[in-house]
Amino acid sequence: MTDQTPIENPLHGRMEAFRTRWSGAPAKMLVGGEWREAQSGETFTTEDPATGEQLAEVASAGQADVDAAVAAARTAFEGSWSKVKPDERARLINKLADLIEANGDELALIETLDVGRPIQFSRMMDVGGAISQLRYQAGWATKLQGETNEISAPGEWLSYVLREPVGVAGQIVPWNFPLAMACGKLGPALAAGCTVVLKPAEQTPLSTVRLGELALEAGFPEGVINIVTGFGRTAGAALASHMDVDKIAFTGSTQTGRAIIDASKSNFKRVSLELGGKSPTFIFADADLSKAIPAAAMGIFFNAGQVCAAGSRLFVQESVADQVLEGIAGMARMLRVGHTLDPETVIGPLVSEVQLDRVTGYIESGRVEGATIMVGGGRRDGQGWFVEPTVLVDTEASMAVRREEIFGPVLCAHRFSDAEDADRLARMGNETEFGLAASIWTRDITMAHKLARRLKAGTIRINGSGGVDPALPLGGFKSSGWGRENGRAGVEAYTELKAISVALG
Ligand code: NAI
Ligand code: MG
């Protein structure tokens, strides 16, 4: 007997719920505890990158909406939120984490559809990442301290330094990890006692809207968390230049990072920038290749390369180069590229047609400049914004594909022969304007540490790979940004120091 019984798709009911939830009236913005349309009445559409299908209409914020959100955040900062005790702030942040956990399947599906994340990753990485960020950051609410300082005139003064919240924080998030990054930004701001106006990317607003609903359910006072959905050049620019915003935290492109710096000059607001990279992976001949090869492959192909710390340049020692490149190319061919709702899919689409054109344009530029396409190299036929996992070999430092952030599943490989010269290897690693991350694979632990010391990169992994850890500072040298998120440095970036001295004489 052939089994004709339709397989029960566990996502089926959730898809119905998703459509019911998002296909009706345009999603609104959260301002001062209320859900509002844009004052202009304008909306925009967000799509599913796996199909190009329109998912939802969303309110498009303009200057007036940003003004209202900032005013609400200011009122809450000076008023209700300033009276909430640190342990209550921690409880609220943890409560939000609990609600994200309780609604994890729904949030994972939103992220899969709106961002193009394969479903097998969205529950673990997006939802899991959001929860671990909030739980880690909640701990800081009760642990931030000022200090008592013995100053230059002992006995004559009592001096102490207060650590105060910086005020109203504007937070601008990109489209690659919207939920986890929103929580990674909200957590430290709220822990430090700031209030927030949060803007998700126009490609991926839906999980942030849902996050706003959960924040209200968690019990945050009105105006503590405000959400404005809209475009960068309107809503984002209005937030970055706003005279009553005390700090901007931004993750995205270097170009927009520069625009944020320009806009922030209006009132010298504090700025933290996480601007991506062109991170090197070094594989030495003595490395454990059974680990290094899959890690290097997933380091660039995971999330179709749309990861700030993606290992997009590979420096591999000549004597193992063929073996390593064959191994990575083999994975490129084998990894399942497909619809994001298919539980077997490993590689999903790029977020938009704009990014598809950008990434395929880079592959073509590499070919024109003389690189060889070892595997991949093109768009996948059919609907959605899919690019094949691609390995470019024979790349040179002068090529655009070796210097610029492609933000797609494109690895640029280069062979090295002198494995003893840490200075020379570090110069190769440091040859771009970026300095976000690096990976080193070798059993020569002295070389690993020598190279790590010489590399200009904010995050370096030796003989292992891993994602963002909320306890570790994240950020970059050079054009990869300003400041650090996460860890102590991340939460302290939402504070100001105030030195107070009392004369004892
Ligand atoms: P983008 O930097 O323009 O967008 C990121 C966020 O900034 C979005 O929320 C956007 O609305 C906002 N934004 C845009 N212009 C703004 C402005 N003038 N003022 C204030 N906010 C503004 O990045 P885009 O155009 O989406 O992607 C282009 C490239 O940027 C990618 O190919 C990639 O190389 C890089 N990128 C890096 C990311 C990272 O994780 N470091 C994330 C996203 C993009
Ligand atoms: Mg979308």
- Residue 327: Cβ within 10 Å count: 18
For this structure, is 194 an active site residue? Answer: no
Cβ pair 6, 20 in contact under 8 A: no
Closest residue by Cα to residue 107 from 45, 179, 56? 179
Q: Is the pLDDT of residue 351 over 90?
A: yes
Ligand 1 atom 32: residue of nearest CA: 407
Which of 181, 199, 253 is the pocket-test mutation for ligand 1 (most atoms within 8 Å of CB)? 253
Per cent of the chain over pLDDT 90 is 94
In this structure, of 13-17, 191-195, 207-211, 468-472, the range with the lowest mean pLDDT score is 13-17
Q: Is the pLDDT of residue 10 over 70?
A: no
Ligand 1 atom 20: residue of nearest CA: 236
Three-point CA angle 73, 204, 139, nearest 5°: 50
Q: Is the pLDDT of residue 11 over 90?
A: no
The CB of 252 under 6 Å from ligand 1? The reply is yes
Cβ pair 323, 289 in contact under 8 A: yes
Q: Is the pLDDT of residue 119 over 60?
A: yes
Mean pLDDT of the chain: 96
Q: How confident is residue 9, by pLDDT bands cut at 50, 70 and 90?
A: low
The CB of 458 under 6 Å from ligand 1? The reply is no
Report pLDDT digits (tens) over 14-68. Answer: 899 999 999 999 999 999 999 999 999 999 999 999 999 999 999 999 999 999 9
Q: Is the pLDDT of residue 6 over 70?
A: no
Q: How confident is residue 1, by pLDDT bands cut at 50, 70 and 90?
A: very low
Ligand 1 atom 19: residue of nearest CA: 237
Q: Which atom of ligand 1 is nearest to the CA of 351?
A: 26
Alpha carbon 263 to its chain centroid, in Å, reads: 22
Mean pLDDT, residues 347-364: 97
Q: How confident is residue 8, by pLDDT bands cut at 50, 70 and 90?
A: low
Mean pLDDT, residues 393-409: 97
Per cent of the chain over pLDDT 70 is 98
Residue 253 Cα to ligand 1 midpoint, Å, equals: 5
Task: Give the environment of ion ligand 2: residues with CB less than 5 A.
Answer: 46, 114, 203-204
Which of 204, 228, 256, 271 is the pocket-test mutation for ligand 1 (most atoms within 8 Å of CB)? 256
Q: How confident is residue 464, by pLDDT bands cut at 50, 70 and 90?
A: very high
Closest residue by Cα to residue 279 from 482, 466, 457, 472? 457
Ligand closest in space to the Cα of 60: 1
Q: Is the pLDDT of residue 500 over 80?
A: yes
Mean pLDDT, residues 128-134: 98
- C-alpha dihedral, 327 to 328 to 330 to 334, nearest 10°: 130
What was the pLDDT predicted at 150? 85
Mean pLDDT, residues 490-495: 98
Closest residue by Cα to residue 478 from 440, 438, 505, 443? 438
Closest residue by Cα to residue 476 from 256, 275, 247, 180? 275
Report pLDDT digits (tens) over 317-330. Answer: 999 999 999 999 99
Cβ pair 293, 330 in contact under 8 A: no
Residue 349 Cα to ligand 1 midpoint, Å, equals: 18
Closest residue by Cα to residue 164 from 499, 498, 488, 502? 498
For this structure, is 274 an active site residue? Answer: yes
List the structure tokens of 481. Answer: 């940004």
